[in-house]
Structure 1
Amino acid sequence: MSVGIIMLCHTALERAADAARHWSDHGCPVVIHVDRRVRKRAFQRLRRSLADVSNIRFSDRYACEWGTWGLVQATQAAATRLLADFPDVQHAYLASGACLPLRPVEELVGYLAARPETDFIESVTTEDVGWTVGGLNIERFTLRFPFSWRKQRRLFDAYVRLQRRLGFARRIPAGIEPHLGSQWWCLTRKTLTAILQSPDRAAHDRYFKRVWIPDEAYFQTLVRRYSQNVESRSLTLSKFDFQGKPHVFYDDHLQLLRKSDCFVARKIWPHADKLYNHFLSADLARQPAAEPAPGKIDRIFARAVERRTAGRHGLYMQSRYPQGARETAAPYSVFEGFSELFVDFESWLGKVAGMRVHGRLFAPERAEFAGGETIYNGAVSDSAALRDYNPEAFLTNLIWNTRGERQCFQFGPRDVQQIGAHLAQDDNARIAVISGAWALHLFRSGADLGSIRKEAARLQKIEADHLALLRRPSAKGRVRIWTLAEFAENPMDHLQTLLEDINPRSARRLTEVPRMIDLAGFAEFLATLRNQGMQPILTGDFTGLPRPAESLPQRSRPHLVK
């Protein structure tokens, strides 16, 4: 027989027994190493369950803590036993108790028989490694690591910092060029024997005992010294998340595992009965000859990592907030200055667009929900105190709880401004701004000139800062900005554009616009502000602007009290 299996086990021993029996039934001898920390009763139960199988052996046991030399010792002991007890083995395949063969064993045997001199092991120089997590590449080989990274993290980190500060560096033995790679390999008998029986093995072992995570470096480095033909890849499908932790495969990954064409996969959930029953069945269908291709499913794992780290539009979970501008579930529209320019704009827009339109959701007094509601979908309250505690959460909760219905609301410089940066960065925001429209409120207020001048300066500064956020190159919201003069000159075309943005499929053309307030005397009002030292630059040029045909009934003109 050409292939022997080395199994490293520490949990779910009953599943390891199923896999070992499967390998054995198909002619592959197996040597099992069980972590010395496993209780004796569980170990004896495993031995008894496999006592009837003649080509299964057990090796000497070592304690196998993650990242320590014990894992290499365990592999050395099992490999030595495999080569000694089964002289016909030409390839040794290293697997774990959580590994599962995905294709008929005969296909693996045939694949390796066609490549009798090839060693399959991921072996990459430290300069080329891009997947290490923890910040240590070449320093794995040049520093000392007497403390456990998992159990003594503070001591581990402190000792690394101390060595860096002192400039300490271990000498790498002559003839050794550090390489890293996956722990799971398949080596030829010739190469494995050369590593285990090397006259320099004692020196190599002394050196690698103090390397961090030696199971990812020992065989990966020495194979470059003794092998004539290395394919730097593993035949085992083993995926890791962004934190360096292995992905666990469950029953619903069945089709994904079949698609990979890999011979073996790790790490399988011990209760994945569907996977074990399917892949360990005697009538597992032979697949067309194909190279193992884990790259076929790399795109799926890349999307999973992105989803895990960055979330998606509208995705919320109890464990974390989404990041960046990925916080709303659907597009929404923000109108700035429209309610100042038009009479009862919210009602008109709701009627024309066929939706409920909110007032000033971020007004200082309360959130002005459509219809004057005090509690909206999802128990979202109109309380200003609750809203202002976390304005982004308030808005995203509203959008999430009303998804399927486009939300529209008013905003302006008289409102609470904390939400402004979020609006600019949210690619679901559709923002329409009539700059300077706040001046219409002052124009109609009838307040004294001193109060108007100070308030105008304050509102213009707030709006200028807000517009600067919207105009940043990094802003993601869709923004349209008109000055008050530009919009008042041709309101119908601008409103038509906005309605098409809300409902692109609608072919309806506007025949009338909402009634615009009476702008008679507004140009003189702006001139008075300028003469008093306040320059209203955001309103645009009202010089010679014709009076709109749509206006309120004639009434006395507001005036400034001097």
Structure 2
Amino acid sequence: MLCHTALHRAGQVARYWAERGCPVVIHVDSSTPDAKYNQMREALADLANIRFSPRHICEWGTWGIVAATQEASEIMLRDFPGVRHVCLASGSCLPLRPVDELREYLDARPRTDFIESVTTADVGWTVGGLNAERFTLRFPFSWRTNRWLFDTYVELQRRLKVKRKLPKNLVPHLGSQWWCLTRQTLSAILESPQRKAFDAYFRRVWIPDESYFQSLARLFSANIESRSLTLSKFDYQGKPHIFYDDHLQLLRRSDCFIARKIWPHAHKLYATFLHPDAASHPRAEPNPGKIDRLFAKAVERRIAGRAGLYMQSRFPNSELANGRTAAQYSVFEGFAQLFEDFDTWLSRVSGTRVHGHIFAPERVEFAGGETVYNGSLSNSARLRDYNPRSFLTSLIWNTRGERQCFQFGPRDNQTIIPFIAGDPNAQISVISGAFSVPLFQSNLNFSEIRAEAARLQRIEAEMLTLLRAPDVKARVRVWNLAEFVENPMEPLQMIVDEISPRSLRRLTEVPRLTDLTGFGQFLQNLRNQGMKPELMGDFPAGGEMPGPGGRRQRPYLVR
């Protein structure tokens, strides 16, 4: 048992093994304070089948871990001649099944070595590290404490094309550090005439604890099961998963004999699995594959997160975004200008939450005039404009289960448009040129109207260019003002059907259309003043509104 921290837990597990007839040899990292080491020795002094091996510095990725394992194994083989299988564990390992079950399992396989051992060409689990090069280059420096020297020396060897010579008959293999070897195989490795050559070679291999016994077992074992009896899972960064109290049923389901790595404060796990009367489950082959699906989901959740939820670990890296927003929503441009009380009507017929201009320059126009909305979102324009993207994603996330709709226009903060255009959850409906209707109804001087109309038209034209780009993922529908006024019932029905697909009922009413009498002459006046209206469509300069031409217009009710 290799220990370096939480020695009280390691001692608890060692006592569990020893009291059930399994001798234990404990190695404690020499960097661990002597006071804690001596305290552990005193606590286990009453057990005659526990030994302590000479202490080494066991820094990750270095030879010290292998040296500690070698000396502890030699003590085990020397002091306990009745031992047939030797299992390597850590101080954070925890037995999951009664000792008798493990003993029976190994008794049925007296000549089998359980050690994960695969060639470097077949390894797919090394994460962000060296694979074959760990055997062909030298690694005299610690990766953790001398990172610059480590990287510099590796790069120098690559440039000089350094390649180490392998010991005779040795084929490098990799695998989990936690093995269970027979006395014959382990003693053959430790007593090999080539051991000095093997040790000298692996002393400069990177992470030798994952390759020393895994490679040499191939030379001396007659029957290898390339798997570990210890359950150990790693995340996408190569770091071990830590098991907590709420993993109790998950660990039971694995049917493995030992699990690593257990949180030292997981009192429920230690109390359950180390209980003297721990219930025995039906004999089953260790099968960590039963829980692989859950770990795969955990890795996916860790990497991609949930759609529309920007965790600290993923933000602002857009490459890791799993969906820009959490749910579908609708954006309307020009509708509130063309129809009276459009938000009230839409909320009634579709059953959705309809906001005003939430990106208006003065304030956020939440539905119902709220000043603070779900998730403590403020209606402050200053807070919203600090990060419009996060404001929108927070609004959609905080209101999951209820579709959100809001108005937009050329007067609003335009920085959000590229984000919305690239969002598959967005449904964008635009009546181009509708920004001119409030100007038509205003009492401003015409020179001010012309300047404002030109400004808003330029902004809306840029927005439409973005929405018509080939890489847009939002569902975009654009009507110019003239064609929409000609037949408003059909597009309104289409919009409502998409927002509420389950209702599938024909509209019997539409909101009251703003009075546009004289609007065509208004556009002509803009032309006469030097401004060219381009987004409104073809409005006649006379008093007549655009008509359906020679076809009969579909009937609809206007209240």
Scaled by the length of structure 1, the TM-score of the pair is 0.86
Deviation, structure 1 residue 490: 4.0
Tell me the equivalent position of 2:467. Answer: 467
Tell me the equivalent position of 2:207. Answer: 213
For residues 80-120 of structure 1, the C-alpha deviation after alignment (integer angstroms, 9 at most, x for no partner) is 11112222222211111111111111221222222222221
Comparing 49-58 and 214-223, the one that deviates more: 49-58
Please show how residues 82-97 of structure 1 align to structure 2 within 5 Å.
82-97=76-91
The answer as to 2:342 corresponding to 1:345 is yes
Tell me the equivalent position of 1:383. Answer: 380
| Secondary structure class of the residue paired with 1:237 | strand
The one-letter code matched in structure 2 to 1:367 is V
* Residue number among 92, 100, 110 corresponding to 2:94 in the alignment: 100
The answer as to 2:33 corresponding to 1:39 is yes
Deviation, structure 1 residue 15: 1.6
Please show how residues 85-234 of structure 1 align to structure 2 within 5 Å.
85-234=79-228
| Secondary structure class of the residue paired with 2:513 | coil
Measure, in 1, the Cα distance between the counterparts of 2:353 and 2:130.
Answer: 56
The answer as to 2:246 corresponding to 1:252 is yes
Comparing 124-133 and 328-337, the one that deviates more: 328-337
Deviation, structure 1 residue 495: 2.3
Please show how residues 258-407 of structure 1 align to structure 2 within 5 Å.
258-313=252-307, 315=309, 321=315, 323-324=320-321, 326-354=323-351, 356-403=353-400, 405-407=402-404
Measure, in 2, the Cα distance between the counterparts of 1:495 and 1:16.
Answer: 69
Measure, in 1, the Cα distance between the counterparts of 2:359 and 2:536.
Answer: 22
Aligned length: 544
Measure, in 2, the Cα distance between the counterparts of 1:478 and 1:172.
Answer: 61
Measure, in 2, the Cα distance between the counterparts of 1:505 and 1:179.
Answer: 59
Check whether the contact 2:509–2:556 (CA below 8 A) recurs between aligned residues.
Answer: no
Check whether the contact 1:356–1:407 (CA below 8 A) recurs between aligned residues.
Answer: yes
Deviation, structure 1 residue 30: 1.6
Measure, in 2, the Cα distance between the counterparts of 1:136 and 1:527.
Answer: 72
Check whether the contact 1:516–1:551 (CA below 8 A) recurs between aligned residues.
Answer: no
Tell me the equivalent position of 2:59. Answer: 65
Tell me the equivalent position of 1:432. Answer: 429
Tell me the equivalent position of 1:423. Answer: 420
Check whether the contact 1:363–1:416 (CA below 8 A) recurs between aligned residues.
Answer: yes
Measure, in 2, the Cα distance between the counterparts of 1:345 and 1:11.
Answer: 66
* Residue number among 9, 19, 26 corresponding to 1:15 in the alignment: 9
| Secondary structure class of the residue paired with 1:432 | strand
Deviation, structure 1 residue 343: 2.8
Tell me the equivalent position of 1:3. Answer: none
* Residue number among 493, 511, 516 corresponding to 1:514 in the alignment: 511
For residues 460-486 of structure 1, the C-alpha deviation after alignment (integer angstroms, 9 at most, x for no partner) is 5313323135x526x2x4544555555
Pair 1:518–1:22, CA change in 2 (3 A) = same
The one-letter code matched in structure 2 to 1:545 is P
Deviation, structure 1 residue 259: 0.5
Check whether the contact 1:518–1:552 (CA below 8 A) recurs between aligned residues.
Answer: no
Measure, in 2, the Cα distance between the counterparts of 1:179 and 1:459.
Answer: 64
Deviation, structure 1 residue 237: 0.4
Deviation, structure 1 residue 529: 9.0
| Secondary structure class of the residue paired with 1:53 | coil
Deviation, structure 1 residue 352: 3.3
Measure, in 1, the Cα distance between the counterparts of 2:481 and 2:159.
Answer: 63
Measure, in 2, the Cα distance between the counterparts of 1:198 and 1:492.
Answer: 89
| Secondary structure class of the residue paired with 2:16 | helix
Check whether the contact 1:254–1:275 (CA below 8 A) recurs between aligned residues.
Answer: yes
Pair 1:19–1:325, CA change in 2 (3 A) = closer
The one-letter code matched in structure 2 to 1:406 is R
Measure, in 1, the Cα distance between the counterparts of 2:556 and 2:514.
Answer: 8
Pair 1:248–1:552, CA change in 2 (3 A) = closer
Measure, in 1, the Cα distance between the counterparts of 2:507 and 2:241.
Answer: 56
Measure, in 2, the Cα distance between the counterparts of 1:396 and 1:45.
Answer: 54
Measure, in 1, the Cα distance between the counterparts of 2:261 and 2:388.
Answer: 43
Check whether the contact 1:337–1:412 (CA below 8 A) recurs between aligned residues.
Answer: yes
Measure, in 1, the Cα distance between the counterparts of 2:538 and 2:375.
Answer: 41
Tell me the equivalent position of 1:545. Answer: 548
Pair 1:61–1:135, CA change in 2 (3 A) = closer
Tell me the equivalent position of 2:46. Answer: 52
Check whether the contact 2:305–2:311 (CA below 8 A) recurs between aligned residues.
Answer: no
Deviation, structure 1 residue 516: 2.6
Deviation, structure 1 residue 272: 1.5
Check whether the contact 1:412–1:463 (CA below 8 A) recurs between aligned residues.
Answer: no
Check whether the contact 1:530–1:536 (CA below 8 A) recurs between aligned residues.
Answer: no
Measure, in 2, the Cα distance between the counterparts of 1:12 and 1:24.
Answer: 19
Comparing 266-275 and 410-419, the one that deviates more: 410-419
Deviation, structure 1 residue 14: 1.9
The one-letter code matched in structure 2 to 1:467 is L
Pair 1:478–1:235, CA change in 2 (3 A) = farther
Measure, in 1, the Cα distance between the counterparts of 2:222 and 2:519.
Answer: 88
Check whether the contact 2:113–2:181 (CA below 8 A) recurs between aligned residues.
Answer: yes
For residues 367-396 of structure 1, the C-alpha deviation after alignment (integer angstroms, 9 at most, x for no partner) is 333344554444433333332221012223
Measure, in 2, the Cα distance between the counterparts of 1:140 and 1:59.
Answer: 28
For residues 158-196 of structure 1, the C-alpha deviation after alignment (integer angstroms, 9 at most, x for no partner) is 332333333333333332222211110111222212211
| Secondary structure class of the residue paired with 1:297 | helix
Check whether the contact 2:8–2:40 (CA below 8 A) recurs between aligned residues.
Answer: yes
The one-letter code matched in structure 1 to 2:337 is E
Comparing 335-344 and 73-82, the one that deviates more: 335-344
Deviation, structure 1 residue 204: 0.8
Measure, in 2, the Cα distance between the counterparts of 1:224 and 1:146.
Answer: 26
Measure, in 2, the Cα distance between the counterparts of 1:484 and 1:224.
Answer: 78
Pair 1:376–1:110, CA change in 2 (3 A) = closer
What fraction of aligned residue pairs are identical, expressed as a percent? 63
Deviation, structure 1 residue 219: 0.9
Measure, in 2, the Cα distance between the counterparts of 1:230 and 1:522.
Answer: 87
Tell me the equivalent position of 2:543. Answer: none
Check whether the contact 2:354–2:405 (CA below 8 A) recurs between aligned residues.
Answer: yes
The answer as to 2:423 corresponding to 1:458 is no
Check whether the contact 2:510–2:557 (CA below 8 A) recurs between aligned residues.
Answer: no
Check whether the contact 1:186–1:234 (CA below 8 A) recurs between aligned residues.
Answer: yes
The one-letter code matched in structure 2 to 1:462 is E
Deviation, structure 1 residue 227: 2.0
Measure, in 2, the Cα distance between the counterparts of 1:528 and 1:291.
Answer: 86
* Residue number among 228, 235, 240 corresponding to 2:234 in the alignment: 240
| Secondary structure class of the residue paired with 2:89 | strand
